[in-house]
Amino acid sequence: TGETYSHNFQAEVAKLLHLMVHSVYSDRDVFLRELISNAADALDKLRYEAIAKPELLAGAPDLAITITPDKAAKTLTVADNGIGMSEQELIDNLGTIAKSGTQAFMEQAKDDKDKGGIHLIGQFGVGFYSSFMVAHKVEVTSRKAGTDEAFAWSSDGTGTFTVASVKPEAAPLRGTSIVLHLKEDALEFLEDWKIEEVVRAYSDHIAHPIRLAAGTETTRQINAASAIWTRAKTDITPDQYKEFFGHITGAYSDPALTLHYKAEGRNEYTVLLFVPGEKPFDLYDPERRGRQKLYVRRVFITSDAELLPPYLRFVRGVIDSEDMPLNISREMLQHNPQVAAIRKAVTNKVLAELKKCFETEPEKAAKIWDAFGPVIKEGLYEDMERRDQLFEIARFNTTKREGVTLKDYIADLKANQTAIYYLTAEDAAKAKASPQLEGFRARGIEVLLLTDAVDSFWVRMALGFDGKPFKSVTQGAADLDLIPLVEEAPKSDADEGATATLIALIKQTLGDQVGDVRKSARLTDSPVCLVASDQGLDRTLEKLLARQGT
Ligand code: ADP
Ligand code: MG
């Protein structure tokens, strides 16, 4: 003990800190929300651990967050008596960013800074480092619950930080204390009114008490500290929902959709879920994890219970069960029938709510579909049971219209048209320019333009919709002959004999490189196009697989 060790920040963190230290963000008061949010998480974690080990609460059973301004020292301290951090956790948690997409985030944050916004920071979970927007030095003292040792982390936000052990008499009983040495231009955060204003704006409804130490002896609670989902819908304002949405997701924007209800009957639970207004960074993480929080009677259990299927991972919020056992281990959750029942019911409810929104609020629908449509479409091949429900939500761009449903498409079928035609392509411009479409245009047939990577997968597995199979315009002869032309085709002056000679010549020249060469009704302007055989892979899928070396 007594030794102080110096560590380098991970390169990304060093860059991020540089951004923070030199920040010109106008709304930098969000640092307080980030620290409070971390403190609340730490209290939640302790309360969960204490179910199995009540002795962890010894000495301080009352869980709270305390904010202490010290005008003489120009410091602001945010303390919690939560789970705390070990020496190694201090080094890992406050020296690195483990999340994927860090690089992409950094690039966007740079742009974002120029625009004067800051909403990316909390969203990406770099919350702690935002302290350096207001502090020229930050000291963190922490004692992990159930241990005797405490450690102090310290940094001025340049390339390095130090960690040293703390004498027992200087250590907190349990939990973490963060001392911010405020910059000269941030001294307003020492004022009671300012602290209260920020707490009320961003942290009023986190479920733990936040206390302001006023003077040396007295503290008073400055937040409502009620679990917002337990309150009646009619008592909650949109701003209060937004505040809680921010606490859950780190976002500073409005949720696109809020779903708040209580389920009664065999399983009793409360649901407060949000569809975000913007794409989160980790939407395409290979892990595809949802992070809905499971509570049991107001006690946080885990964010890993997979309460919704992966294709709804962007939906965030809380599900609080009244009747599950409190001491359920996280491992047991996977096979718990109550969790399975909740997952099933809530999934259906979310889809029903999306459908309702899509039918009544087209603008909002377009925004939600634009952000999350490609993810929802994963459900089309993963969740056979709900495929039809998903098809009712799914929106498509076609050769004729934007944002139509399959129902809309079916309503516009041409005489003798027996299939739903689609074209997969990398983007809309490429799709529209495809010569494959000519014969369809000439017959007034609408074609779905599928431009998301996921489309090539579901469209081959979906059996069809409303009795009509999906059929690629690039696959084989597309039964076009049966469907009348809208306009009379210009009379072909090529004679049959010459065409046959030309086809023979092409076949001879290309040899094994093609399966067949045929005369076709599908082209009107272009002389030739490549198509896959009826049994063959769709062209876009073929290219996709070739790229991946499969
Ligand atoms: P995030 O909260 O998104 O994980 P942060 O940068 O806010 O990112 O915090 C990084 C990590 O540091 C947290 O995940 C947590 O493990 C740890 N941490 C931060 N503050 C505290 C605290 N008050 N008590 C315990 N652990 C903390
Ligand atoms: Mg955080």
Per-residue HEC secondary structure of 477-492 comes to CCCHHHCCCCCCCCCC
**Residue 86 burial (10 A CB sphere; 0-12, 13-18, 19+):** middle
User: What would the pLDDT profile of 12-35 be if each residue is shown by its tens digit?
Assistant: 888 888 877 776 566 688 899 889
CA dist 215 and 297 (Å) reads: 36
Cα(39)–Cα(37) distance, rounded to whole angstroms?
5
Calculate mean pLDDT across residues 133-141: 96
Rounded distance between C-alpha atoms, residue 366 and residue 7, angstroms: 48
What Å distances lie between residue 343 and 269, 284, 324, 334, 394, CA to CA? 12, 22, 14, 11, 21
Residue 297 falls in which region: left (phi positive, over 0), alpha (psi -120 to 50) or beta: left
Residue nearest to atom 13 of ligand 1 (CA): 93
User: Whole-angstrom Cα distance, residue 282 to residue 104?
Assistant: 10
On the question of pLDDT at 119 being above 60, the answer is no
How far apart are alpha carbons 460 and 281 in whole angstroms? Answer: 29
In the block, which residue shows the tokens 């794409």? Answer: 279
- Tell me, in angstroms, the distance from the centre of ligand 1 to residue 329's CA: 22
Residue 291: DSSP 8-state: -
123 close to ligand 1 (CB < 6 Angstrom): no
Give the residue whose CA is nearest to atom 14 of ligand 1: 93
Residue 123 and residue 280 in contact, taking contact as beta carbons nearer than 8 Å: yes
Using the 8-state DSSP alphabet, how is residue 128 labeled?
A: G
Considering the chain, what percentage of its residues have pLDDT values greater than 90? 54
Q: What is the pLDDT of residues 187-200, one digit of tens each?
A: 999 999 999 999 98
| Model confidence at 379: pLDDT above 80 | yes
Between the ranges 7-16, 25-34, 276-285, where is the mean pLDDT highest? 7-16
3-class secondary-structure state, position 76:
strand
Summarize pLDDT for 508-546 with one digit per residue, the tens: 888 888 888 887 766 777 778 777 765 556 666 666 666
Compute, in angstroms, the gap from residue 85 CA to the centroid of ligand 2: 14
Rounded distance from Cα 37 to ligand 2 centre (Å): 6
Q: Is the CB of 86 under 6 A from ligand 1?
A: no
| pLDDT of res. 116 | 45
Best mutation site among 93, 121, 208 for ligand 1 pocket (most ligand atoms within 8 Å of CB): 93
For the chain, state the CA radius of gyration: 30
Q: Is the CB of 454 under 6 A from ligand 1?
A: no
- The answer to whether residues 255 and 274 touch, using CB atoms and an 8 Å cutoff, is yes
CA pair distance 104, 100, nearest whole angstrom = 9
Structure tokens that stand for 382 in this block: 């993963």
Mutate to test the pocket of ligand 1, among 128, 140, 203, 281 (most ligand atoms within 8 A of CB): 128
Task: Please indicate whether residue 168 or residue 339 has the higher confidence score (pLDDT).
Answer: 339
Distance CA 414, CA 429 (A): 25
Q: What is the mean pLDDT of the chain?
A: 87
Range list of β-strands (E), 48-114: 65-70, 75-80
Cα dihedral sign, 509-514-516-520: negative
Cβ within 8 Å of residue 531, ≥6 positions away: 436, 474, 475, 476, 539
CA 296 to centroid of chain Cα atoms: 24
Terminus-to-terminus CA distance in the chain, angstroms?
56
